[in-house]
Structure 1
Amino acid sequence: MSSPEQWTRPEPGAGPAATAAEPTPEQVIAGLRATTEGGTELTQLLNPEGERLASPRFDPYVADIDAEALRGLYKDMVLVRRADRESNAMQRQGQLGIWVPLLGQEAAQIGSGRALQPQDMAFPSYREHGVAYARGVDFRELLGIFRCSDHGGWDFKRHGFHPYTIVIGNQVLNATGYAMGQKFEGKVGDDDGEATIVYFGDGATSQGDVHEGFVWAAVYDAPVVFFCQNNQWAISEPTERQSRLPLYQRARGYGFEGIRVDGNDVLGCLAVSRWALEECRRGNGPVLIEAFTYRMDAHTTTDDPTRYRLSDELEVWKHKDPIERVRAHLARTGGADQAFFDDVQAEADRFAAELRDFCFNMPDPPPERIFSEVYADPSPQLDAQREEYLSYLSGFAEAGGH
Structure 2
Amino acid sequence: MSEHVHAVHPEPDLVQLLTPEGQRVEHPDYPLDITDDEIGSLYRDLVMVRRIDTEAIALQRQGELGLWASLLGQEAAQIGAGRALRTQDMAFPTYREHGLAWCRDVDPLTLLGLYRGTNLGGWDPNENNFNLYTIVIGAQTLHATGYAMGVVRDGAVGTGDPNRDTAVIAFFGDGASSQGDVNEAFVWAGAANLPVVFFCQNNQWAISEPVGVQSRVPLYRRASGFGFPGVRVDGNDVLASLAVTRKALDDARSAQGPTFIEAFTYRMNPHTTNDDPRRYRLGSEAETWKLKDPLERVRAYLSREAGFGADFFDGIEAEAKGLAEHVRAGCRALPDPTPESVFEHVHVTMPDDLRGQRDDFVEFVSEVSA
Shared fold (TM-score greater than 0.5)?
A: yes
User: Are the equivalent residues in 2 in contact too, given 1:38–1:292 (CA < 8 A)?
Assistant: no
1:141 is aligned, of 110, 128, 133, to: 110
Partner of 2:4: none
The secondary structure found in structure 2 opposite 1:374 is coil
- CA–CA distance in structure 2, aligned partners of residues 267 and 327 of structure 1: 13
Any conservation in 1 of the 2:118–2:334 contact (CA below 8 Å)? no
Q: Which moved more, 1:369-378 or 1:235-244?
A: 369-378
2:287 is aligned, of 315, 323, 339, to: 315
SS at match of 1:69: helix
The answer for the alignment partner of 2:305 in structure 1 is: 333
Which of 89, 94, 101 is residue 125 of structure 1 equivalent to? 94
Distance 2:50 2:128 in 1: 21
Are 2:143 and 1:174 equivalent residues in the alignment?
Answer: yes
Question: What are the Cα deviations for residues 185-215 of structure 1, in whole angstroms up to 9, with x where unaligned?
Answer: 2111035210100000000011111110000
Q: Deviation at 1:350?
A: 1.4
TM-fit CA distance, 1:389: 1.4
CA contact 1:261–1:269 (8 Å) conserved in 2: yes
Question: Percent identity among equivalent residues?
Answer: 55
* Deviation at residue 39 of structure 1 after TM alignment: 5.2
Q: Which has the larger radius of gyration?
A: 1
Separation in 1 of the partners of 2:309 and 2:19?
Answer: 20
Q: Is the counterpart of residue 90 in structure 1 residue 67 in structure 2?
A: no
SS in 1 for 2:175: helix
CA distances 1:259-316 after superposition (whole Å, capped 9, x unpaired): 0000000000000000000000011111000000010100001111111111111111
Matches within 5 A, 1:35-74: 40-59=12-31, 62-63=32-33, 65-74=34-43
| 1:200 counterpart = 2:172 | yes
Give distance in 2, aligned partners of 1:266 and 1:364: 37
Cα distance per residue 1:214-266 (max 9 Å; x no partner) = 00111111111000000011111111111000000000100100000000000
CA distance, structure 2, for counterparts of residue 317 and residue 260 of structure 1: 17
Could you tell me which of 129, 151, 165 is aligned with 2:134? Answer: 165
- Equivalence for 2:247: 275
Deviation at 1:38?
11
Q: Deviations over 1:81-126 (max 9, x none)?
A: 0110110111111110000000000000000001000110000000
Displacement after TM superposition at 1:70 (Å): 0.8
Measured after TM superposition, the shift of residue 369 of structure 1 is 1.2
CA contact (8 A) 1:173 1:213 kept: yes
2:199, 2:263 within 8 Å by CA — same for their partners in 1?
A: yes
Q: Specify the SS of the correspondent of 1:269.
A: helix
Equivalent positions of 1:3-402 (< 5 A) are 40-59=12-31, 62-63=32-33, 65-189=34-158, 190-192=160-162, 193-397=165-369, 400=370
Residue 153 of structure 1 and its aligned partner are, at CA, apart by 4.1
Matched AA of 1:342: D
Task: Name the CA distance, whole Å, in 2 between partners of 1:356 and 1:163.
Answer: 23
Structure 2 CA distance, aligned partners of 1:38 and 1:167?
38
CA contact (8 A) 2:104 2:130 kept: yes
Q: Which amino acid aligns with 2:89?
A: D
The aligned residue for residue 23 of structure 1 is none
Contact kept, 8 Å, 1:191 with 1:282, in 2: the verdict is no
Query: For residues 364 and 275 of structure 2, what CA distance do their matches in structure 1 show?
Result: 39
Output one character per residue of 1:304-334: Cα deviation in whole Å (capped at 9) or x when no partner.
1111111111111101000000000001123
SS at match of 1:340: helix
Letter in 2 for 1:327: R
Scaled by the length of structure 2, the TM-score of the pair is 0.94
Please give the secondary structure, in 2, of the residue aligned with 1:115. Answer: coil
When normalised by structure 1's length, the TM-score is 0.87
CA distance in 2, matches of 1:122, 1:209: 17
For 2:116, give the aligned amino acid: R
Structure 1 position 362, deviation (Å): 2.2
5+ long unaligned stretches in structure 1: 1-36
Shift in CA distance, 89/284, structure 1 to aligned 2, threshold 3 Å: same
Q: Is this contact kept in 1: 2:118–2:335, CA < 8 A?
A: no
Does the CA-based 8 Å contact 1:125-1:165 persist in structure 2? Answer: yes
| Aligned residues: CA RMSD | 1.5
Distance in 2 (alpha carbons) for counterparts of 1:250 and 1:39? 19
* SS across alignment from 2:112: helix
Q: Offset at 1:151?
A: 3.0
